[in-house]
């Protein structure tokens, strides 16, 4: 059992289903002096990493989490920053073999500050691109979101059918019948009926 007073190196590797053999990473981590090595086999996303969760639960102050390269931990600056913060929060360090990064050294700690700056830059860049896209959409007469599926006359026709009633006050057409007539899904039509006001009779 891992003693809270022992300082150890824990290795972590990740392989995809296209590269099932983890031996290369395992061998490198063992050669680097890791006392234990954990390996996840990931299919598609990084949403579930049971072995990585075990590593994080095992880490204690003074331990070092070792991996071959940065993309074994995360595929975005934001994810790497979150992981680095969590590891540092336990008092442990990070070491990437390929990039020669070791957060137990002053140079490695500088890397964390750079990583944080890039994470903020990445977040601001995404935000700026989103705003630019919305501005461009407004300039073209759109308010954002998906392109309208119905033209104005189609919406008006749908509303006319929706508001048409028989002598006893019952609606002549169901929403599904109107949607079939217009050629859209019922959920799409409902959205237009809820958000598009009736055309004024005084126009």
For the chain, the structural domain boundaries read 9-120, 152-195
Q: Sheet holding 93-96: strands in order across?
A: 36-42, 9-16, 64-67, 93-96, 101-102
pLDDT band at residue 203 under the 50/70/90 scheme: very low
Decide if pLDDT at 11 tops 90: yes
pLDDT band at residue 141 under the 50/70/90 scheme: low
Tokens of 159: 């509303």
Across residues 129-139, what is the average pLDDT? 65
State the alpha helices, DSSP H only, in the chain.
23-31, 50-58, 77-89, 106-139, 152-163, 175-182, 186-195
Q: What is the pLDDT of residue 200?
A: 46
**Higher pLDDT residue, 173 or 113?**
173
* Marked catalytic residue, from 3, 16, 43, 200: 16
Across residues 82-95, what is the average pLDDT? 90
Has 16 been annotated as catalytic?
yes
Q: What is the pLDDT of residue 202?
A: 41
Across residues 81-106, what is the average pLDDT? 89
Q: What is the mean pLDDT of the chain?
A: 78
Q: What is the pLDDT of residue 113?
A: 76
Q: What is the pLDDT of residue 5?
A: 42
Q: What is the pLDDT of residue 44?
A: 47
Residue 203, CA distances (Å) to 198, 199, 200 in order: 11, 8, 6
Q: Burial, 138: exposed, middle or buried (Cβ in 10 Å; 0-12, 13-18, 19+)?
A: exposed
Decide if pLDDT at 145 tops 80: no
Q: Among the CATH numbers 1.10.1660, 2.60.40, 1.10.1330, 1.10.10, which is that of 152-195?
A: 1.10.10
Closest C-alpha to 156, from 133, 182, 174, 176? 182
Fold match, 9-120 / 152-195 = no
Question: Any idea which fold 9-120 has?
Answer: Rossmann fold (3.40.50)
Q: What is the pLDDT of residue 4?
A: 42
Q: What is the pLDDT of residue 35?
A: 93
Decide if pLDDT at 17 tops 70: no
Across residues 154-177, what is the average pLDDT? 81
Across residues 145-157, what is the average pLDDT? 70
Per-residue pLDDT of 37-71, as tens digits, reads 999 987 545 557 889 999 999 999 999 999 998 87
């Amino acid at each position: 059992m891992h003693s809270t007073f022992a300082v150890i190196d824990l290795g972590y590797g990740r392989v995809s289903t296209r590269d099932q053999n983890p031996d290369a990473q395992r061998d490198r981590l063992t050669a680097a002096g890791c006392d234990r090595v954990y390996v996840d086999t990931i299919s598609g996303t990084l949403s579930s990493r049971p072995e990585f969760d075990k590593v994080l639960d095992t880490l204690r102050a003074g331990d070092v989490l070792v991996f071959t390269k940065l993309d074994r931990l995360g595929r975005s600056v934001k994810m790497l920053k979150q992981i680095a913060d969590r590891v540092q929060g336990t008092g442990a360090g990070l070491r990437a073999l390929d990039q020669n990064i070791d957060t137990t050294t002053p140079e490695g700690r500088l890397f964390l500050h750079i990583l944080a700056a890039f994470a903020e830059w990445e977040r601001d860049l995404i935000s700026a691109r989103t705003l630019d896209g919305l501005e461009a959409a407004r300039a073209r007469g759109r308010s954002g979101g998906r392109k309208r599926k119905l033209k104005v006359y189609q919406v008006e026709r749908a509303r006319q059918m929706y508001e048409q009633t028989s002598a006893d006050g019952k609606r002549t057409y169901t929403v599904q019948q109107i949607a079939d007539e217009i050629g859209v899904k019922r959920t799409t039509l409902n959205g237009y009926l809820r958000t598009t006001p009736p055309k004024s009779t005084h126009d």
